[in-house]
Amino acid sequence: MEGAQCVDEREMETRIRFRSWMRVALWLIGLMALGISLMLSISVGAAEIDLTMVWEALVNFDSNKAQHQIVMYLRAPRALVGALVGMGLAVAGAMMQGLTRNPLASPSIMGVNAGSSLALAIVFAFAPGMSYNQLILISFLGAAVGVGMVMWISSLSREGITPVRLSLAGMTISTLLSSLATGISIYFQTGQDLTYWYAGSIAGSTWDQVRVLVPWISVGLVGSLLFARSLTVLSLGDETSKGLGQRTKWIKLCGSILVFILAGSAVSAAGPVGFVGLIIPHMARFLVGLDYRWIMPYAALLGGLFFVLADIGVRILNPPYETPIGVVTAFFGVPFFLYLARRK
Amino acid sequence: MQVMIALVLLILLSIFISFNTGIFKLSPMEVLRTLWGTGEEHHHLVLFEFRLPRIVIALLIGTGLAVSGLILQGITRNELADPGIIGIHAGAGLFVASWMMFLKSELSQPPFLISILAFMGGLFAAFLIYLFAWRKSGVSPMRLILVGIGFNLLFDAALLALQVKMDPNQFLYLEIWLAGSIWASNWNFVLILMPWILLLLPIAFYRSRRLNILLLGDSAARGLGIAVQRERLILLLLSVGLAASCVAVGGGIAFVGLVAPHLARRLVGERHEYIMPTASLMGSLLLVVSDLVARQVLAPNEIPTGLVVAVMGAPYFLYLLARTKG
């Protein structure tokens, strides 16, 4: 009997190891797909530039050629910002769903989107005519205020932050802030400008933005990976997690800060794209199960890939106009998501 | 019990204040005299033709949305659920927006039609969600939620696609509609809303105990002799019916559905036969007071009532959240 059990365990172990290798391989394939989609994204647009030319411009840049300039100054930063934003939102979403243990949670529940909308609504109403970079900064500050309020309110109680309290406080504060934003934009009739700002998303991305985003998103992603293990334990419940020797308060605080770093920078660069932060973590979960050490890298990859592809869709669906990216992500992502949700 | 009595008194008080205030000022004595039937003719007109229908609509919408949200939170076992988050409001909004865009109708279109469109949009959204969440084994709470948020995003995206193409007037009209306001306040609309609430609310109250059992989980509920799938479908239909009829008259007022059940739960505990009446009173109170504020603060301009609900309801709820357990 003991022998048989032993074999079973060994077989189990090999199976788990095999599955892990499969997942690593699949992830690497995904990474290649991301690379290809970045190249595609650079090549597609009003001026068709074929892939060899893209490669040439990236490797051997010649500022005299117009095509090289388009690649270098317009398309490449846009593609990179897309990938970074997608990664940031997806991982922030996974983190949020882990912290609140609620499948409905997304970075927007942390007050990120609403805080940024309110800040922008105020600026559009009272100090119009700000530059692009200033608006991004304002939006980021707004997100910080939103997250700060959510954290503060949900930690007021003697029990500290519980998942239910965090999600309810977050939802309530988000509704409050976005209602104020809507009120302001209706009163000053700036609603459509705001909508354009959101819908326009990453069209005007520059290398400046890439330079700003890279450190934030990298810190956020690395932090989330380091955190994934604790998050998996936390998702077993506060009591269990404490019993296993985790400092749950600390985890929740750090997790929320990571959500803010990732989602705050992503939202200020691209506007509130609801789909990625809410749906991509679920997709990652459908693929790799409940362990956040797998969910995080898969969410990052899927988020980046999805956002870059969607941004291609933005440009080719209705040229010469750009379709709002939120529309593209939802129209192409939701059917796929529904399929996954039904299968499970 | 004390909570409910207090709520009823507060509602009566706010109704009375509501009678007094408006562009046309009436003193409390004049209101009392008019109610008694001995007031002047034009007071009678102001009170019974303008103010009363609006108050009644606010009461009904508040009740309907609160109960609808409570039921949804129960059957999905998710504290964040409300009719808005699973796409009922967005579906209604999409129908209204498409009508405005594609049929090129002017803003002077009959409000009655908008109301019917919103109602159909809400039901359509719910139908799609249930259809896609259904599999041979039935509908699980988790799948209901996932499919719901999927469709919500889809409808929202479609709305956004329409919104960027609208002319500024249409855009503003839609923005106010989506924010939620009691824009159609006359007795006709009371007559649209009333039958639904009168029909669905008693059934919901009658079935409120079932929610206690469903919250224990599917297998436990089955063990206690509940036909889980059938019960869930009935409750879902109740919730959707209530939400859709409220959206038809109140537009995108959403926050009540989320917050009123939680306020009630934190005041009277975990049993749904107590939570439901408390939540429905709480919803009514919240909406009557909010509508009063919406009419008054920037008079003669109005603020969309849905926005005021959030601004008034959120602080109190956050306070309770910090004070109570769970």
Other C-beta atoms lying within 10 Å of the C-beta of residue A224 = 29
Sequence-distant (6+) residues with CB within 8 A of A130 are A123, A138
> What own/partner pairs with CB < 8 Å and gap ≥ 24 does A315-319 have?
A315/A44, A315/A45, A315/A46, A316/A44, A319/A46
Contact A164 B326 (CB under 8 A): yes
Q: Amino acid identity, residue A182? A: T
Q: Cβ contacts (< 8 Å) between B142 and chain A: which residues? A: 103
Residue B215 touches chain A, beta carbons under 8 Å? no
Residues of chain B with pLDDT under 50: none
Of B310, B323, B324, the CB nearest to A175: B310
Tell me the residue ranges of DSSP E strands in B77-125. Answer: none
Inter-chain residue contact A179 with B147, CB threshold 8 Å: no
Six token digits for residue B57: 């609509």
Whether residue B79 and residue A153 make contact (CB cut-off 8 A), yes or no, is no
How many of the other CB atoms lie within 10 Å of CB of A131? 8
Q: How many helical (H) and strand (E) elements, i.e. helices and strands, does chain B have?
A: 15, 0
Those of residues 52-91 in B touching chain A at CB distance below 8 A are 78-81, 85
Cα separations in angstroms, A102 against A97, A151, A164, A243: 5, 17, 8, 22
Q: Does B293 touch chain A (CB under 8 A)?
A: no
Phi, psi of B135 (to 5 degrees): -130, 180
Instruction: Please give the average pLDDT of every successive group of 10 residues along chain A, which has 344 residues.
Output: 61 81 90 90 79 79 79 85 93 91 84 89 84 83 90 80 83 89 84 70 78 90 90 82 80 88 88 82 89 92 93 83 82 83 72
Angle of the B52-76 helix axis to the B228-250 helix axis, nearest 10: 150
Q: Comparing C-alpha atoms, which of A202, A175, A178 is closest to residue A88?
A: A202
How far lies B137's CA from each of A152, B222, B229, B233, in Å? Answer: 43, 14, 9, 13
pTM over 0.80: yes
Cα(A104)–Cα(B148) distance, integer angstroms: 10
Shortest CA gap A203–chain B (Å): 16
Chain A residues within 8 A of B145 when measuring between CB atoms: 103-104
Q: Are A184 and A258 in contact (CB under 8 A)?
A: no
What the block records as the tokens of A274 is 């609801």
Q: Do A330 and B175 touch (CB under 8 A)?
A: no
Amino acid at site A102 = N
CA distance B200 to chain A (A): 27
Which helix (H) or strand (E) segment is A251 a member of?
A: helix A248-270
How far is residue A244's CA from residue A95's CA, in Å, rounded to a whole number? Answer: 20
Element (H, E) at A153: helix A132-154
DSSP state of A160: -
Q: Give CA–CA dist A117/A138, Å, rounded.
A: 10
- Reading the block at residue A287, the tokens are 């693929």
Sorted by sequence, the CB contacts under 8 Å of residue A273 that are 6+ apart come out as: A85, A89, A201, A267, A307, A325, A326, A329
* Site from B82, B143, B154, B298 to mutate, A interface, most A CB atoms within 10 angstroms: B154
Render the burial of B213-234: b for 16+ CB within 10 Å, e for the rest: bbeeebeebeeeebebeebbbb
pLDDT at A247: 80
Cβ distance A295 to A228 under 8 Å? yes
Quick one: residue B185, left, alpha or beta (phi over 0 = left, psi -120 to 50 = alpha)? beta
Q: Please give the pLDDT value at position A1.
A: 45
Question: What is the maximal distance between C-alpha atoms in chain B?
Answer: 65
Closest Cα in chain A, distance from residue B321 (Å): 7
- Rounded to the nearest angstrom, the minimum Cα separation between A90 and chain B is 15
Q: Å from A173 to nearest chain B CA?
A: 7
Quote the CA–CA distance of A57 and A59 in Å, as a whole number: 6
Comparing CB atoms, the residue among A103, A175, A274 nearest residue B145 is A103
- B281-321 pLDDT, tens per residue? 999 999 999 988 888 887 777 788 888 998 888 888 888 88
Q: What dihedral do alpha carbons A7, A11, A17, A23 form, nearest 10°?
A: -160
| Contact flag A156-B317 (C-beta cutoff 8 Å) | no
Q: What is the 3-state secondary structure (H, E, C) of A182-195?
A: HHHHHHCCCHHHHH
B146 and A165 within 8 Å at the Cβ level: the answer is no
